[in-house]
Amino acid sequence: MATRADVAKLAGVSESTVSYVLSGKRPIGDATRRRVLDAIDQVGYKSNYAATALAGGKPRMVTMMISNLFSTPSSRIVGALVDGIVDGVRDSGFHSVIWPVTEDDDSDVDLLIKSNFSGGVILMNVKENDQRVHRLHQEKIPFVVLGRTDVGFSYNYVDRDFDEVYRIALSHLKDQGHTSIGVMFTDNPVRDSLKKIAAQLKVNLVRINTQDTFEGGAQIAKDFRKSFPHVTAIVSLLDAAAIGFTNAAEGYGLAIPRDVSIIAVNMLENQAENSIPPITTVAFNAYELAKSCGSMMVEIIESDKGKKLHKTQLWVGDLIDRGSTAQYSGRKRS
Amino acid sequence: MATRADVAKLAGVSESTVSYVLSGKRPIGDATRRRVLDAIDQVGYKSNYAATALAGGKPRMVTMMISNLFSTPSSRIVGALVDGIVDGVRDSGFHSVIWPVTEDDDSDVDLLIKSNFSGGVILMNVKENDQRVHRLHQEKIPFVVLGRTDVGFSYNYVDRDFDEVYRIALSHLKDQGHTSIGVMFTDNPVRDSLKKIAAQLKVNLVRINTQDTFEGGAQIAKDFRKSFPHVTAIVSLLDAAAIGFTNAAEGYGLAIPRDVSIIAVNMLENQAENSIPPITTVAFNAYELAKSCGSMMVEIIESDKGKKLHKTQLWVGDLIDRGSTAQYSGRKRS
DNA sequence: CTGTTAGCGCTTTCAG
DNA sequence: CTGAAAGCGCTAACAG
């Protein structure tokens, strides 16, 4: 267990010099730096996380605060997000942990703050006027929220660009020959922007009402052929409903690859003669969104020093075509 | 941010006395203890996690080391386990974190060890001769493994009692009137113990071959009526196959509540006249298993001081009947 | 550009 | 039964 002191001795410098070489917070002579760096991997030095935290440093650690990690129908989507963040954060040389929290208890948050546990926090499943947002803001701990809530001040967040997602999804399906495309909705009216996109592409939009629940989606799948005989593809930005739909659809003769956050599915059956490619998927890539979010989080940590938070809008509309090799879950693609 | 010093001053004792009141590692006078305890919640003192770790204390924190958290077909099962552990650990007054690790990189483990980050570790997805097991053992960090692997020495683990699970599942289904029960298998032969159980209960065991994959299970569901016309219930200890089966089954008219780690499913359709209760489920309760594992972990942390590890066998065959209200995922039951 | 030093909050000897 | 004091490894003034 080599410490900074061992490194300093070997390199013939003071302990603080070692620290400054590592943190880059002070200009260091080239020769000195090299000797320190050499010493570091000679003795196999690794920084002590607890000591950094205690001394008031910025731990290179990103914490994902999640409630109901696995217990909701949309856990699969959250899972893709978490996977993406883990990889994004790791790529930036940080560590990440998942901090399971209960919604009715702030003590988890307190521990994290009190102990200077985390260089930054990613919040998921944020509710209206979430207390965690207030606590983190007030303690000046860098954080970003996945999704948006009104809390009375501005903060960093990441969200999907729904219009863009629709645009890409619809045009993709159009290109494949679909003309009548179902879109899942709850009660809310169809946005004008979506109508415009459909009009531009000259596709017929068929509204499909459902609850954004697993069961809601499954129900759609069940009645689908009867209820929407002319619809050949379907688009959904409702996470739970999309999952329910795709899970159930398989059994109703709608050959659909399971995927995370399916937003657009070609539902033609696998017929060789058909001119429209069968079983293709356009997926909203939750993983990629999350991965960029991870990197962004790290950037905030490194630049902001908890002093100022600026509103950042990161619209991610990355869509991919997985073809027929879609995986069960939102795994990292090579 | 009250510290131990604030508490000491208010209570009129020394700082170390406060520590010993908290840790119980020294006899403390009743009057003194009371004053200290009062002072503690008067100033709202919370221990600083980083300081404890640095000073060589035992952080009241359990770390779950998991690779491929969300990316495998059986993530839902792992999820139920994680949920259970989180709750079990919390009930014991500890915190828990999930430490996502990559399989090919030990640096995550090093950080954890080096910084005395964790009072104890729960390992999941352990592979043959897993290096993490060796590292943790050698560093004398308390840990328990979910599942078993041969590593050349004995360690704490938790596993299912398969025989017991089969016994309870089969007798439950028998009680409901089933006489012909399918059991999912991969290539391995049916164990003698299982045959014996079936014989005792006088139920007809029907072997169902499959891969332990999502797709394997889905396939079974598809052909089920044709292939096994007389089978009215099914038992599976294959996690991924069970999930694939239940996901797909819905669409094939097999009304089955989605559940985590389904091991036994009554597949009769919902007919009011039928004497056998419809849509009931016997589930192997992954959540409960994990929850007890969490408590057990905490016990190890508190008793062992990392000095001796004794082999502990915890056989859990807890099965529950969720009736028709089964949730989508292995959520905590009130 | 580099070194010295005083903490961060807690644990744990060593003294009473 | 209780107190004093020496660290744990690192950060960040403060001094050159």
Question: Which pLDDT tens digit goes with each residue over B19-71?
Answer: 999 888 888 888 899 999 999 989 989 899 999 999 988 888 999 988 777 76
C-alpha gyration radius of chain B: 24
Give the C-alpha separation, A37 to B69, whole Å. 35
Give the C-alpha separation, A264 to A242, whole Å. 9
* C-alpha torsion sign, points B245, B246, B247, B248: positive
Helices B75-91/B239-249 angle, 10° precision: 110
- Please report, rounded to whole angstroms, the spatial distance between the CA atom of protein residue B11 and the C1' atom of nucleotide D1: 16
Least confident range from A9-18, B96-105, B300-309: namely B300-309
Is the pLDDT at A75 greater than 80? The verdict is no
Phi then psi for residue B167, to 5 deg, are -60, -50
Contact B146, B123 (CB under 8 A): yes
Asked whether residue B15, judged by its CB, lies under 7 Å from any atom of the DNA or RNA strand D, the reply is yes
| pLDDT, position A257 | 39
Measured in whole angstroms, the distance separating CA B127 from the mean position of its chain's CA atoms is 17
Average pLDDT over residues B152-170: 71
Flag if B75 and A329 touch (Cβ within 8 Å).
yes
| A214 has a chain B CB within 8 A of its CB | yes
Contacting A residues, span 35-94, partner chain B, CB-CB under 8 Å: 46, 48-51, 53-54, 69-73, 75-76, 79-80, 82-83, 86, 90
Flag if B70 and A50 touch (Cβ within 8 Å).
no
Chain C, protein-covered positions (CB within 7 A): 1-5, 7-13
Measured in whole angstroms, the distance separating CA A237 from the mean position of its chain's CA atoms is 15
Give the C-alpha separation, B180 to B203, whole Å. 6
> Nearest nt (C1') to B116 (CA)?
D8
Q: Taking CA atoms, what residue in B is nearest to A57?
A: B50
| pLDDT, position A253 | 59
Tokens at residue A302, please?
């490194």
Is the pLDDT at A316 greater than 50? The verdict is no
Give the three-class secondary structure for A34. helix
Most confident of B179-188, B198-207, B313-322, B323-332: B198-207
| pLDDT, position A72 | 61
Nearest to B251 among A76, A99, A251 (CB): A251
Is the pLDDT at A198 greater than 90? The verdict is yes
- Please report, rounded to whole angstroms, the spatial distance between the CA atom of protein residue B310 and the C1' atom of nucleotide C15: 37
Give the C-alpha separation, A122 to B138, whole Å. 34
Give the C-alpha separation, A61 to B53, whole Å. 16
- Please report, rounded to whole angstroms, the spatial distance between the CA atom of protein residue B59 and the C1' atom of nucleotide D10: 19
Flag if B117 and A247 touch (Cβ within 8 Å).
no
| pLDDT, position A13 | 92
Flag if A221 and B251 touch (Cβ within 8 Å).
yes
- Please report, rounded to whole angstroms, the spatial distance between the CA atom of protein residue A14 and the C1' atom of nucleotide C2: 8
DSSP state of A324: G
Higher pLDDT, B24 or B72: B24
Higher pLDDT, B198 or B257: B198
Phi then psi for residue A121, to 5 deg, are -130, 140
Structure confidence by residue, pLDDT tens digits, B227-244: 888 887 888 877 777 777
Give the three-class secondary structure for A229. coil
Asked whether residue A44, judged by its CB, lies under 7 Å from any atom of the DNA or RNA strand D, the reply is no
Is the pLDDT at A26 greater than 70? The verdict is yes
Average pLDDT over residues B166-187: 82
Average pLDDT over residues A313-319: 33
Strand A281-284 and strand A262-266: the pairing is antiparallel
Amino acid, res. A215: E
Phi then psi for residue B62, to 5 deg, are -110, 130
| pLDDT, position B174 | 82
Asked whether residue B25, judged by its CB, lies under 7 Å from any atom of the DNA or RNA strand D, the reply is no
Nearest to B115 among A49, A86, A251 (CB): A49
Structure confidence by residue, pLDDT tens digits, A258-303: 332 333 443 332 222 222 332 223 334 566 667 767 777 777 777 6
Is the pLDDT at A321 greater than 60? The verdict is no
Higher pLDDT, A92 or A257: A92
Contact A287, A260 (CB under 8 A): yes
Share of chain B residues as helix, strand and coil, in percent rounded to the nearest 5:
45, 15, 40
Average pLDDT over residues A326-334: 21
For chain B, where are the alpha helices, taking DSSP H only? 4-11, 15-23, 30-43, 49-54, 75-91, 107-114, 131-138, 162-175, 192-201, 214-227, 239-249, 286-304
Average pLDDT over residues B232-261: 64
Contact B174, B159 (CB under 8 A): no
| pLDDT, position A90 | 87
Is the pLDDT at A325 greater than 50? The verdict is no
| A324 has a chain B CB within 8 A of its CB | no
Asked whether residue B54, judged by its CB, lies under 7 Å from any atom of the DNA or RNA strand C, the reply is yes
Flag if A111 and B73 touch (Cβ within 8 Å).
no
